Structure 1
Amino acid sequence: MFKVFVITTLFLGAYAEYLGELQGYGGHVGGEIEYGGHEEHHNHHPKYQFNYAVHDPHTGDEKQHIEERDGDQVKGTYTLKEADGTTRVVEYKADKHNGFNAVVHKIGEPHQHGGQIGGVYGGHY
């Protein structure tokens, strides 16, 4: 659990900066920013790759996320096992010229559960 939190935290910080740059809300990549006499240096060409996956047979939670950034180009894919048994796949790209674009696919046929509360989890926690 701790590893996922650290990776997610690092990703969210980097992605928030990237989105701020796209929207013009103070995100900054490259150069220096001065805050109250304190200069911060930023990477002129940010680059990263990350991935994580969760497979919990007890709860049925299955998901994974892969993303990479090279300068102003971000692309990634995430998958999520839905409660109805289908799998959602989202492929996305983002850059400062085209913004965020995603294509969503649904794989599989939904399961019918005959009124069972809680979907594939059967209502048990």
Structure 2
Amino acid sequence: MEFQVIALVALVAVTLGSPENVPSYGYGPAPSSAPAKYDFSYTVNDPPSGNDFGHQEARDGPNTQGSYFVLLPDGRLQRVTYTVNGDSGYLAEVTYEGEAQYPSTPRPYTPAPHYA
């Protein structure tokens, strides 16, 4: 009998402790049904580190087009131009500019600067 009373009290406590109004976890207004439209680009050119790369993309509804490039360690510039039209998938064309250069002696390793 004592076990039944404890079980009943626990059940009542759990029932009363549950929140009545569970909040929705969507922050802000509901998403718009308008088709996506955007345009962005960025480039990085840092000669001391050898970094040279960038990306640009534009989208209007289901049609996306863009390109990105990177300076490869062998000195060539790799450029990828791509399109996505609806459900056609990602279609890319890869090109290389310049000739590959291989030094006769490797460059010595230079560690990155250390900041304390």
Residue equivalent to 2:103: 113
Q: Structure 1 pair 37/123, CA: closer, same or farther in 2 (3 Å)?
A: closer
How far, CA to CA, are the matches of 1:109 and 1:81 in structure 2? Answer: 12
Q: TM-score, normalised by structure 2?
A: 0.66
How far, CA to CA, are the matches of 1:57 and 1:79 in structure 2? Answer: 16
How far, CA to CA, are the matches of 2:75 and 2:84 in structure 1? Answer: 29
Per residue, is there more helix in 1 or in 2?
1
Deviation at 1:43, TM superposition (A): 4.2
Aligned length: 87
Q: Are 2:32 and 1:42 aligned?
A: yes
Deviation at 1:101, TM superposition (A): 0.6
Residue equivalent to 1:123: 109
Deviation at 1:41, TM superposition (A): 2.1
Q: Unpaired segments of 5 or more residues in structure 1? A: 1-35
Q: TM-score, normalised by structure 1?
A: 0.62
CA offsets 1:52-81 (integer angstroms, 9 cap, x no match)? 000111111001111000000010011110
Amino acid paired to 2:75: G
Residue equivalent to 1:58: 48
CA RMSD of aligned residues (A): 2.1
Amino acid paired to 1:95: N
Q: Structure 1 pair 41/92, CA: closer, same or farther in 2 (3 Å)?
A: same
